[in-house]
Amino acid sequence: MKQIDLMIFDLDGTLVNSGGDIVASVNYTLKSLGIPVMGTEVIIGFVGDGVQKLIERSLCRDSRDQFDKAMEIFTAYYAEHMLDTTTFYPGVPEILQHFHDKNKVIITNKRYRFTRAIAEALDIKKYFDDIIGVDTTPYKKPDSRLLSPLLERFGAQRERTVVIGDGINDILLAKNTGALSCAFLNGLGRRDLLLDQKPDFVCENISELKSLFC
């Protein structure tokens, strides 16, 4: 097992299975604007780079002029429905408790207020030293300037820091910073694209972290 001092977790697709609520909110937005709704897999493929990119990708080329309205509709609807079906992936509360003595931070390209609301509602905020959303700093994943200050703050070495996530941006964040990467293969991200990035570790179930790190 690899000795670890600092653990960085993604949120959507890693700690929580939030795809259903994201898809429902996007399709509500499209329907409200008179735009045909999209399939679940298509919308899930748009997730990972923040809500602005999500909405931009979801609008057809002829509807890009409705971006501001779409953002307004999505934000209001998602605020009311982000916990309709969102729940933990199997083993998440147990793994957070298992590593209770490790410094842990959520870094996500989701907005901070939504991230915090989900973490509080599901009672996992207590496990984390900090939560960093896409609007918390000027930088977003995979920019190394997100992670480097945390290494200094917690006195963690790069080789004893791991980024755990289901997206390419999580793997690239680790690589860009010189930290270890661990791909969660059963999240929202495509496993083939994750494996193409050659992460240092992979897990099918989040509970496998117990056998990978100490």
SS3 117: helix
SS3 58: helix
- Given a contact cutoff of 8 angstroms between Cβ atoms, the answer to whether 162 and 213 are in contact is yes
Which pLDDT value is given to residue 39?
94
pTM score, two decimals? 0.94
Which pLDDT value is given to residue 31?
95
Question: Within the chain, which residues score under 70 in pLDDT?
Answer: none
Which pLDDT value is given to residue 64?
78
DSSP class per residue in 139-201: --TT-TTTTHHHHHHHT--GGGEEEEESSHHHHHHHHHHT-EEEEETTSSS-HHHHHHT--SE
Which pLDDT value is given to residue 65?
87
Measured distance CA(121)–CA(194) in Å, rounded: 29
Query: Domains (ranges, CATH) in the chain?
Result: 6-17+87-212 (3.40.50.1000), 19-81 (1.10.150)
User: Taking the CA atoms of the chain, what radius of gyration do you get in angstroms?
Assistant: 17
Which pLDDT value is given to residue 62?
72
Which pLDDT value is given to residue 63?
80
Tell me which H or E stretch contains 103. Answer: strand 103-107
